[in-house]
């Protein structure tokens, strides 16, 4: 009979969906291999001697209600050919039976030799193998104890049974156990081409570093829409006055003295203003139109400039850092304007430069901490400008929809145009030319816009805190927060706020509810949020079977997106198909 190779056998299986197993029996001569095979195949005990190198038997049996074809090979062992034969058989054998006779000690001693040869040859970690101790009906001739055979098998984790080949049930039970083991093994270890690949790694975002301090300094340096001028007598060349410009809103928010002067002028409290100016060694020169001019002969332009720069951005000029004289000048300006943080920093800088303190590193650290704290103060003060500011130069009006009332923010063109590209363009084109005092933004969520404008002003990003909502599984609250963040993402894209765009994607990736994945994917794809888009696709892909039936999936996404998601399907489609095929087979064979 022509032997089928493994592939042919598998092909047949697939066609007929009838599993087929190849079992080979090995053992010493006279141990009962042929008798076992014949008993199993023909269900009878054969006393006849059946010569030959090997015999091929075929039989169909029912295991748990399913027909299985068993191909049985009984080997004969002319020693020189054994290795060749074993190697050959191993390639297409699903399970091995190793048989010895309990009445023949030598046949038992051959079992470890067979086993070791298998171990040498096999290229898999595991192969099903069953050890059988035959002829227990000849108990009075026993040469091998059950205990020593069991010890051998237990040590190697091999199934073992003593039997009598007269007993068909016992013979069949060995074959069935071997089949079951092999079958389960097949399911657990898919073929190489169907091995489960690594899961897709969720993307992460590197948030670009903040430019807030740089932006604050730039607002001062660029001097856009300034409304206060400081003039100084230029002693160096006697050519009259030098001057620089600044913004009342920022200075009033950062320094009490300036606030008192600017507010006093707005409220026409001239006496109070004169008094405050004289305390601060300033002279009110002009308050015409939109520009207020203050002058001083008391301070050097450099020290005064350094103080104003510090108020904008917590930056200390390099020249001041290196000079005791300039630090002393700046210290006296800071004293007059009662700017405590600057006073402390200058005192520390002077002691550093004079080498008065041994612990230089400690002082440097203290200065750096004071400067960091000052940035937090600037951030807080700028955020407050939005709420109430007599020096704002226009208003932003938000109207969510027809049914909601308008909400207003006090806005400041120098801050907005430095911090946000959209406002830079709009303010340059519309505000400057048409002198508008309001910008109306309709169809925009107030909560989302609030997050955006606070970020623009203060660099703060305070998304809804979902810690307790997640703990209590408050889906409604999570989804509501997700919606706010998705609208913010749209705002970031539209208003060109790249860093906030990143922060927003990061927050969404940490907090997105499963029910929002499809919607979020759609939003992400429309507002250039590639990382969030990939994140959503991977998450949907992980649960693809569920999502593909979801109406949101069907309606919100276009074919291109659906195809894209399929690429992220996990486990991948070919793997699922492979396993489905085996599941069908399994269902036919066993009902667990
Ligand atoms: N009492 C008893 N005799 C058995 C049993 N199994 C096999 N025999 C006998 O043992 C002898 C050897 O059995 P075989 O099946 O021919 O052994 P084999 O391993 O194929 O050995 P070779 O024929 O030499 O290849 C035969 O006389 C069988 O009838 C058994 O369970 N009980």
Which pLDDT score is estimated for 500? 98
Q: Please, what are the averages of pLDDT over each run of 10 residues along the chain (592 residues)?
A: 47 55 85 88 55 58 74 62 58 81 95 81 68 96 96 88 93 85 53 71 95 97 92 64 90 96 92 94 83 84 95 97 96 96 96 82 94 97 88 90 88 94 82 67 93 97 93 94 97 96 97 95 95 96 88 87 90 76 52 33
**Residue 267: DSSP 8-state:** T
The answer to whether the CB of 40 is under 6 A from ligand 1 is: no
The answer to whether the CB of 103 is under 6 A from ligand 1 is: no
Distance 81 CA to ligand 1 centre (A): 22
Q: Contact, 244 vs 230, CB < 8 A?
A: yes
User: Rounded to an integer, what distance in angstroms lies between the CA atom of residue 37 and that of residue 101?
Assistant: 15
Testing ligand 1's pocket by substitution, the residue of 24, 28, 30, 31 carrying the most ligand atoms inside 8 A of its CB is 30
Helix (H) or strand (E) holding 183: helix 168-188
**Residue 2: DSSP 8-state:** P
Q: Contact, 498 vs 208, CB < 8 A?
A: yes
Reported in sequence order, the residue ranges of 136-187 that DSSP labels E, i.e. its strands, are 160-162
The answer to whether the CB of 46 is under 6 A from ligand 1 is: no
Which pLDDT score is estimated for 43? 67
Atom of ligand 1 nearest to the CA of 76: 25
Which pLDDT score is estimated for 53? 37
Phi-psi region of 209 (alpha: psi -120 to 50; beta: other; left: phi over 0): beta
Q: Where are the alpha helices (DSSP H) in 288-359?
A: 301-313, 318-322, 324-336, 340-353
Which pLDDT score is estimated for 205? 95
Q: Contact, 215 vs 419, CB < 8 A?
A: yes
User: Rounded to an integer, what distance in angstroms lies between the CA atom of residue 94 and that of residue 261?
Assistant: 95
The answer to whether the CB of 507 is under 6 A from ligand 1 is: no
Question: Residue 448 CA to chain centroid, in angstroms?
Answer: 24
Which pLDDT score is estimated for 573? 81
- How many other β-carbons are positioned within 10 Å of the β-carbon of residue 344? 15
Distance 69 CA to ligand 1 centre (A): 25
User: Rounded to an integer, what distance in angstroms lies between the CA atom of residue 500 and that of residue 506?
Assistant: 10
Which pTM was predicted? 0.65
User: Please, what is the end-to-end C-alpha distance for the chain in angstroms?
Assistant: 37
Which pLDDT score is estimated for 299? 86
Atom of ligand 1 nearest to the CA of 99: 19
Atom of ligand 1 nearest to the CA of 50: 23
User: Rounded to an integer, what distance in angstroms lies between the CA atom of residue 499 and that of residue 117?
Assistant: 66
The answer to whether the CB of 34 is under 6 A from ligand 1 is: yes
The pair phi, psi for residue 360, each rounded to 5°, is: -60, -45
């Amino acid at each position: 009979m022509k032997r089928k190779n493994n592939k042919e056998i598998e092909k047949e299986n697939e066609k007929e969906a009838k599993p087929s197993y190849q079992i080979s029996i090995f053992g010493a001569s006279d141990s009962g291999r042929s008798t076992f095979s014949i008993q199993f195949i023909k269900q009878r005990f054969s006393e006849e001697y059946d010569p030959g190198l090997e015999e091929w038997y075929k039989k169909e049996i029912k295991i748990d209600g399913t027909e299985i074809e068993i191909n049985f090979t009984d080997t004969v062992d002319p020693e020189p050919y054994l290795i060749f034969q074993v190697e050959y058989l191993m390639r297409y054998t699903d399970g091995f039976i190793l048989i010895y006779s309990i009445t023949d000690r030598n046949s038992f001693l051959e079992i470890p030799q067979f086993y070791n040869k298998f171990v040498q040859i096999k290229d898999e970690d595991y192969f099903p193998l069953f050890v059988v101790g035959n002829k227990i009906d000849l108990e009075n001739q026993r040469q091998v104890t059950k205990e020593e055979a069991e010890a051998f098998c237990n040590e190697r984790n091999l199934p073992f049974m003593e039997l009598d080949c007269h007993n068909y049930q016992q013979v069949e039970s060995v074959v069935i156990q071997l089949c079951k083991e092999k079958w389960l093994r097949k399911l657990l270890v898919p073929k190489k081409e169907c091995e489960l690949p690594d899961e897709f790694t969720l993307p992460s975002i590197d948030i670009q570093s903040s430019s807030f301090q740089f932006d604050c300094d730039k607002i001062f340096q660029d001097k856009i829409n300034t409304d206060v001028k400081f003039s100084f007598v230029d002693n160096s060349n006697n050519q009259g006055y030098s001057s620089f410009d600044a913004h009342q809103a920022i200075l009033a928010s950062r320094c009490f003295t300036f606030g008192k002067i600017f507010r006093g002028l707005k409220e026409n409290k001239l006496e109070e203003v004169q008094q405050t100016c004289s305390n601060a060694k300033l002279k009110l020169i002009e308050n015409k139109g939109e520009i207020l001019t203050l002058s001083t002969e008391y301070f050097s332009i450099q020290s005064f400039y350094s103080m104003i720069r510090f108020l904008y951005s917590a930056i200390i000029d390099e020249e001041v850092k290196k000079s005791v004289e300039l630090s002393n000048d700046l210290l006296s300006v800071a004293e007059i304007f009662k700017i405590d943080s600057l006073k402390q920093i200058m005192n520390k800088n002077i002691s550093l430069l004079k080498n008065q303190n041994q612990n230089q590193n400690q002082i440097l650290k203290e200065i750096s901490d004071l400067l960091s704290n000052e940035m937090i103060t600037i951030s807080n003060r700028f955020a407050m400008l939005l709420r109430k500011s007599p020096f704002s130069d226009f208003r932003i009006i938000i109207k969510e929809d027809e049914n909601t009332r308008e909400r207003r923010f006090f806005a400041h063109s120098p801050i907005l145009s430095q911090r946000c590209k959209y406002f830079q363009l709009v303010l340059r084109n519309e505000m400057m030319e048409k002198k508008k005092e309001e910008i109306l933004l309709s169809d925009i969520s107030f909560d989302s816009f609030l997050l955006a404008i606070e970020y623009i002003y203060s660099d703060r990003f305070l998304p809804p805190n979902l810690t307790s909502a997640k703990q209590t599984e408050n889906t409604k609250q999570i989804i509501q927060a997700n919606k706010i963040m998705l609208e913010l993402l749209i705002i970031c894209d539209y208003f060109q706020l790249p860093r906030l765009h990143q922060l927003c994607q990061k927050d969404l990736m940490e907090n997105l509810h499963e029910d929002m994945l499809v919607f979020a994917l759609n939003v992400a794809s429309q507002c250039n949020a590639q990382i969030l888009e990939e994140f959503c696709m991977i998450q949907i892909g992980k649960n693809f079977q569920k999502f593909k039936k979801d109406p949101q999936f069907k309606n919100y996404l276009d074919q291109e997106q659906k195809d894209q998601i399929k690429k992220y399907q996990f486990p991948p489609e070919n793997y699922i198909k492979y396993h489905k095929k085996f599941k069908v087979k399994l269902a036919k064979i066993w009902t667990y």
